[in-house]
Amino acid sequence: MDDTRTLRYSIKWDEFEGMLITDINSYYDMVIEFMWTESFLKSLVFESLGLFNLPEMKDTYSKYVLHILRNECSVMMISEDEKQIRAVGLLEWMTEEWHSWVFFPSSMPRNLFQQIIMMKKELIDATKVNLGISTYDALMVHEIAFPDELYFKKDFLMIMFDAFASVAQNMHMPRVSFIALSTADQEAAGMIEFDEIGRTIYSIYKVGNTRPFDILRELDEMYALLFELPVPPLLKYVHMPGFEEFHEALEARLAKEAAEGRRDDDF
């Protein structure tokens, strides 16, 4: 990224080796271009499926990224001089109430890229059945774009995904979920000890009478795996450790007010 502007942000979620991990509330065009070159065009899965050759694929992918960015959950890591994007996590809260997994694929053109989103939706639906639950609300990690030299560095991965968990807490989501399409992403998710809770086998996934992802076996890519990290609710500050005296004083005051109220009733 050759833009020389200092990047503005509103929230600092964390930092790694002097590089801040922040929210994304502007620079959408810059982020979209970063995701195109550093995520989409580096995906062996997308390349093998022929997505690089689909007509107007960049336009489709740009709309896809923009849709997620407008959810205002995504994060980026910026360089120490705060002028370059170094990493991005495209995040979106997906809920049953807002029919997120219904609207999301319907907003995309009908092509193989849309079918990947549909496959993810069907994996979520199948996992709900397997777990015996009716809802699966989550902060979904749709895409990641990490520097090659940091992709399998555990310290970096832990800090980035912990930042995702902080976003989930602030969005009142009970979990962070990540559908890893490639063995590389699956290895990264394994390094940060996310739990695998569902999988789709590429070779048997059917659309009508076709198996559009069967070719991935030639790359030894066999599965799309659903990982999750449960996230505890964000405590209100008055419930945090250190507020015991506050609660004791509050209870004493309420008890005193209740006693005074009873005396007033007696009169």
DSSP output for the chain: ----SPPP-S-EEEEETTEEEEE-SS-HHHHHHHHHHHTGGG-HHHHHTTGGGSTTHHHHHHHHHHHHHTTS--EEEE-TTS-SEEEEEEEEEE-TTTTHHHHHHHTS-SSHHHHHHHHHHHHHHHHHHHHT-S---EEEEEEEE--GGGTT-HHHHHHHHHHHHHHHHHTT-SEEEEEE-SHHHHHHHHHTTPEEEEEEEGGG--BTTB-TTGGGGGGT--EEEEEEEE-PPPPPGGGSTT-HHHHHHHHHHHHHHHHHHHHHHH-
Indicate the average pLDDT of the chain: 92
Tell if the pTM clears 0.75, that is, is over it. Answer: yes
Q: How confident is the model over 3-25, as a mean pLDDT?
A: 92
Residue 181 predicted with pLDDT over 90: yes
Q: How far apart are CA 168 and CA 148, in angstroms?
A: 26
In tens, the pLDDT along 34-71 reads: 999 999 999 999 999 999 999 999 999 999 999 999 99
Residue 240 predicted with pLDDT over 60: no
In tens, the pLDDT along 66-75 reads: 999 999 999 9
* 244 pLDDT tier (thresholds 50, 70, 90): low
* 238 pLDDT tier (thresholds 50, 70, 90): very low
Tokens of 139: 């902060």
pLDDT value at position 1? 45
Between vectors from CA 218 to CA 215 and to CA 220, what angle results, nearest 5°?
115
Between vectors from CA 119 to CA 113 and to CA 121, what angle results, nearest 5°?
110
Residue 110 predicted with pLDDT over 70: yes
Pairing of strands 138-145, 223-230: unpaired
